[in-house]
Amino acid sequence: MKLLIAALLLASAKAAVIQGVVLDEETGNPLARTLVTLTPLSGASLPANSAGVLSLRTGERGGFTMLSVRPGWYVLKAIRRGFADTEAGQLRPGRPGMPFEITADAVSNFFQLRMRHLAAMTGTVLDENSEGIPDWPVHVYTAKKPVRRVTEVKTDERGNFRVGGLEPGLYVVRSGAGLLEDDSPLLPTYYKYGLALETAEPVRLRLGETLPDVLIRAAKGKLLQVNGVFSSSVAARLTLITDTGRRVIATAGPFNPNTPFEAAGIPPGPIEFVAEGTVAGAECGSYTRVIAEKDVAGVRIGCGPLYRPSIDWQGVRGVAFTPIQARRVDLDGTGPPRTLRTDEPLPPGHWELTLQPPASYYLASIRSQFGGEAASRDDGWFGLYLGNSARLQIVLAPRPGTISGVVSTAGKAVAGATVYLELYNPDGPEKRLQLWNLRTDPDGRFTFPQLAPGRYRVLSSFDFDPDDVNLMDRADVVTLKEGDSVTKALEMLLP
Q: What is the model's pTM? A: 0.86
Q: What angle do CA 15, 444, 18 make, to 5 degrees?
A: 25
- State the pairing for strand pair 236-242/245-252: antiparallel
Beta bridge partners of 245: 242
Domains 2-115 and 307-398 share a fold: yes
Q: Which fold would CATH assign to domain 307-398?
A: Immunoglobulin-like (2.60.40)
Beta bridge partners of 220: 186
pLDDT score of 107: 81
* Three-class SS state of 198: helix
pLDDT score of 4: 41
Burial 256-282 (b: 16+ CB within 10 A, else e): eeebebebeebbbbebbbbbbbeeeee
For residue 276, what is the DSSP state? E
Burial class (CB in 10 A: 0-12, 13-18, 19+), 240: buried
The answer to whether the CB of 346 falls within 8 A of the CB of 427 is no
Sign of the C-alpha dihedral computed for residues 378, 145, 165 and 179 taken in this order: negative
Burial class (CB in 10 A: 0-12, 13-18, 19+), 381: buried
Q: What is the CATH code for 224-305?
A: 2.60.40
DSSP states of 128-140: TTSPBPTT-EEEE
d(CA 339, CA 351): 13
Least Cα distance to 457 among 481, 432, 440 occurs for 432
Beta bridge partners of 291: 270
Least Cα distance to 261 among 72, 271, 332 occurs for 271
Burial 383-400 (b: 16+ CB within 10 A, else e): bbbbbbbbbbbbbbbeeb
pLDDT score of 28: 96
Cα of 387 vs its chain's centroid, Å: 26
Helix count and strand count (H, E) for the chain: 1, 44
Q: What is the CATH code for 119-220?
A: 2.60.40.1120
Beta strands per DSSP E along 95-184? 100-102, 108-115, 119-126, 137-142, 149-154, 160-166, 169-175, 178-179
Beta bridge partners of 178: 186
**Low-confidence stretches of the chain (pLDDT beneath 50):** 1-13, 44-51, 372
pLDDT score of 11: 47
pLDDT in tens, 345-372: 888 999 999 999 888 899 998 988 755 4
d(CA 484, CA 455): 12
d(CA 411, CA 194): 55
| CATH class of the domain whose range is 401-491 | mainly beta
d(CA 200, CA 331): 18
Burial 227-237 (b: 16+ CB within 10 A, else e): ebebbbebbbb
For the chain, domain boundaries? 2-115, 119-220, 224-305, 307-398, 401-491
Beta strands per DSSP E along 356-388? 361-368, 376-378, 381-386
DSSP states of 8-36: HHHHHHT-EEEEEEEEETTT--B-TT-EE
Cα distances from 368 to residues 154, 386, 390, in angstroms, run 39, 7, 7
pLDDT score of 9: 43
d(CA 238, CA 385): 19
Q: What is the CATH code for 2-115?
A: 2.60.40.10
Q: Which amino acid is at 22?
A: V
Q: How many residues does the chain have?
A: 495
